[in-house]
Structure 1
Amino acid sequence: MSKKAPGANVIAQNKKARHIYELSDNHEAGISLTGSEVKSLRAGHVNFRDSYVDFRNGEAFLVGLHIAPYDNAGYAQHDPDRDRKLLLHAHEIENLARSVEQKGYTVVPTKLYFARGKVKVDIAVGRGKKLHDQREDLKRRAEDRDTQRELARF
């Protein structure tokens, strides 16, 4: 029996979120989906652009996540841009909602993956970076790459 490589069940990652936000306080949440949405996710047809978590009536919803329609769904097509309910404990929702009330903070999805046959979404609290902070991060990463490249020569 062969073991899967770590991270082999990752559907998609939101790499842009790490560029735009300083992320902290990660949580794993379940997500309420229809059958055609799961099949579309297995095919990798998902887009994180402009998605975030919204809190309404003590519940958490993932807004702006685009899951493309599944071609073979027939008459039971899903709405690609609908709000999807996140499955979290009540105390987790309260803590996240409290952190979002602070100015400049939001909750964004960072990763979609399968865990034990269920679709999970990794969400994190993020504080928006200023443009100069984003540029500094890019410079720092470029310098780190250069130093690693130089060290690899020896």
Structure 2
Amino acid sequence: MSEIATNRKAARDYHILEKYEAGLELRGTEVKSIRLGKLNISDAFARVDRGQVWLYNCDIQTYDKASHTTHEPRRTRRLLLHKNEIMKLLAQTQQKGLALPVLRIYWKGPRIKVEVGVGKGKTHGDQRQDLKDKAEKREAARTVANFNDKHRR
């Protein structure tokens, strides 16, 4: 599994409660653009609509060397999930405050997979607390490393 793109904004803005792996329905020029790294998922999210899960705001730039057929960069793309997973996602997104942000896109063998999370939005206080916790962990790791360095000699 090699990673193509990661949405770091999703971890900052949401408490991720559950993760789902989905296939992605693409056209040939879209796959070639992804291979070149022309992909942006910072604003991407999924939505359940008419019994299918759709990917919105995933920006895959057009392939420069394509002939007369190209794709729309921000078109909605279908995510491939099992029916029971779609029903679970539909039930979870109907609850107040839950969304489906895209966490990452990666290769799994010859296929491109999307990791979608069920997330509850964070408030500013939650985000600030996360930053404080991160800083405290970093400081504790430094202290432990310094202690170990002094006692090894």
TM-score category by the smaller chain? over 0.9
Normalising by structure 2, what TM-score?
0.93
Q: Which residue in 2 is equivalent to 1:3?
A: none
Q: Output the CA distance in 1 between the equivalents of 2:42 and 2:127.
A: 18
Q: Output the CA distance in 1 between the equivalents of 2:53 and 2:32.
A: 23
SS of residue matched to 1:72: coil
Larger radius of gyration: 2
Normalising by structure 1, what TM-score?
0.92
Q: Does 1:146 align with 2:129?
A: no
- The alignment's C-alpha RMSD in Å is 1.0
Offset at 1:50?
Answer: 2.0
Aligned residues: 147
Within-5 A mapping of 1:1-154: 9-153=2-146, 154=148
Q: Which runs of 5+ in 2 are unaligned?
A: 149-153
**One-letter amino acid of the structure 2 residue matched with residue 91 of structure 1:** N
Offset at 1:74?
Answer: 2.4
**One-letter amino acid of the structure 1 residue matched with residue 81 of structure 2:** L
Any idea what the Cα deviations from partners look like across 1:60-96, whole Å, max 9, x if unmatched?
Answer: 0001110111111122211000000000011100100
